[in-house]
Structure 1
C-alpha cells in the first residue's frame, strides 16, 4: 500500500502563527524537524488546532489508581463486566483462540485487559487525542509531584508519526484523557511498536478491526515476555516476624517462593519453591492483604504500571475463565 507523506491531507494548513499556541511549542517543532524530518508548517498548523482542556489536566491529577484497593476493585470486578466479558469471549471465541495460540498468551487475559480498558470496546474515550496529548505535553499540572510532561511530549511526537503510518485523521481521533486509543487503549508509542495487522488489510486498526485489536493486546503481552500457563498471583499470609520491607522492592520477581517463605510469608503449597516471585500488598478497609506475584503479573504492569491494575486484570480473568467453563 502506498503511504501518504506525514500529515499530508491530515491537517488543513493554517497561516503560521507569529507566537506559540502552547508554551514550549517552538522547541517541540524544532525537535520534530531535526529528529524526524517533519514539516514545520504542518506541525504548527496541527498544534494550532489543539485545545487546552482543563478537564484533562484535572483527570490526570486524580487517576483511578490513586484510590485504595477496596474502592478500585469494585470498578472493574462487577457482575456486568464479567457477564459481558463472557459474552464477548464466546462471540469471538474462534478468533481469540487463534490469537492465543499464535502469540502464546492465555485467552482470559486478552479478554480481561480489553474488559478493564474499554468494557470490551464499548467505552474507548471521547477526548480528542490531539487535545489530550497537547494539554499534557505543554500544560502538565505544575503542582504534580511527578512532572510527566516529557513523557507526553514523546507520545505526542509518536502520534504525529503514527498519522502517516496508519493514515489516521489526527484532528479527529478520540481516546482517553491520557491519549490512549482503541479497544486496548494503546498510547501512540505502544501503537507504533506493538499493534499488528491481524486481518491483513494493510492497516492496524484498533477501533473497528477486532482481529487487529485482540491480536495487538496479545502481541503486547508476548513481546514483554508472557509465560503461557504461568501463575500470576497467589494470596499469601504474613506470619510472625514477616519482613515487610519486601513490599518496597517492586513488582519484578527477584526472590523465590522459598525466599519469601523463609522471610515469613506462606502461600499455596503447589507452588514451585524455586519460582521467582515478588510481594505486594493491597489496602482493604480493615487490613492489608498480601499476594505473591510472579513474572506474568510483572508483564501486566508493563501495560499499566499499577499493581492494582494488574490485580484487577488477574481477578477479572479468573472470573471470566470460570464463566466460560462448561
Structure 2
C-alpha cells in the first residue's frame, strides 16, 4: 500500500489529526437513527456497532467525538469500519484511532487491503474522449468491468503501454468550463470504497502524487 496515499487521506480527513470532529458521536448516531433523517436503518446499525466498539475497546461512549455524520478518529472511520478494519498496528495491546496515528496508518492500509488494493497498480490517467465516446465517462463511481481490448475495439485511443487484458473505466469530473475526463484503473475504484465520491478519490490521488514528489525532492 503506497504510504503517500495513506498520508493524503489523513490530510484530507482530519488535517493530520488537527480536526477529528467535535460532535458527540453517541448523540449524533441516536439522532440519526431515530430522528427525521434519511438512512435511519443504516444509522441504527451504526449505533449498534458504535456501542459494541466502545465496549470492545473500553472507550466510554460519551467521551467519543467525531464528525457531524458519526465518523471518528484520525481516519474518520464509521463505527462498523472501526470494528472491521481498525488494527493495533504498533502492537501496544490496544486499538486507538483517536490518539494513535500509528494505529490509524495501519488501519487505513488494512482497509484498502481488505478492499483488494493491487500493489504496484496504477490509479488513473487523464484521457481525451471524443463527443462520441464521452457517454462512457460517468460522473458517479464507475467500476472497471471491460478490458482495454474492448475499449480499443470501441474506437477509444488508449495508451499503447496498457495491456489488452487490463480492466478500465472512465469518469468525468465537473469543472467550471469543461469536464475533465479520466481513465481509471482498479485502484481508483478501491479509493472510492473509502469515500464514494469520485472527486474525493481524485483529490486523494493527486495529493498523494504531490506528497511523493516533495518527499523525493527532499531526499535527493
2:70 aligned with 1:179, yes or no?
A: yes
CA contact (8 A) 2:148 2:168 kept: yes
Question: Structure 2: how far apart are the matches of 1:219 and 1:106?
Answer: 12
1:125-274 matches, within 5 Å, as 125-141=21-37, 147-242=38-133, 244-245=135-136, 247=138, 250-274=141-165
Question: Structure 2: how far apart are the matches of 1:120 and 1:180?
Answer: 15
The CA deviation at 1:302 is: 1.0
The CA deviation at 1:177 is: 0.7
The CA deviation at 1:248 is: 7.1
Q: Which residue of 1 aligns with 2:174?
A: 283
TM-score (ref. length: structure 2): 0.92
Question: Structure 1: how far apart are the matches of 2:151 and 2:14?
Answer: 36
Structure 1: runs of 5+ lacking an equivalent = 1-104, 142-146
Q: Which residue of 2 aligns with 1:76?
A: none
The CA deviation at 1:140 is: 3.9
2:186 aligned with 1:295, yes or no?
A: yes
TM-score (ref. length: structure 1): 0.63
Question: Structure 2: how far apart are the matches of 1:261 and 1:237?
Answer: 14
Structure 2: runs of 5+ lacking an equivalent = none
The alignment yields a C-alpha RMSD, in angstroms, of: 1.7
Question: Structure 1: how far apart are the matches of 2:45 and 2:107?
Answer: 21
SS at 1:168 equivalent: coil
The CA deviation at 1:257 is: 2.5
> Which digits, 9 at most, give the CA deviation of each residue in 1:65-103, with x for residues without a partner?
xxxxxxxxxxxxxxxxxxxxxxxxxxxxxxxxxxxxxxx
Q: Which residue of 2 aligns with 1:118?
A: 14
Question: Structure 1: how far apart are the matches of 2:36 and 2:118?
Answer: 37
SS at 1:280 equivalent: strand
SS at 1:305 equivalent: coil
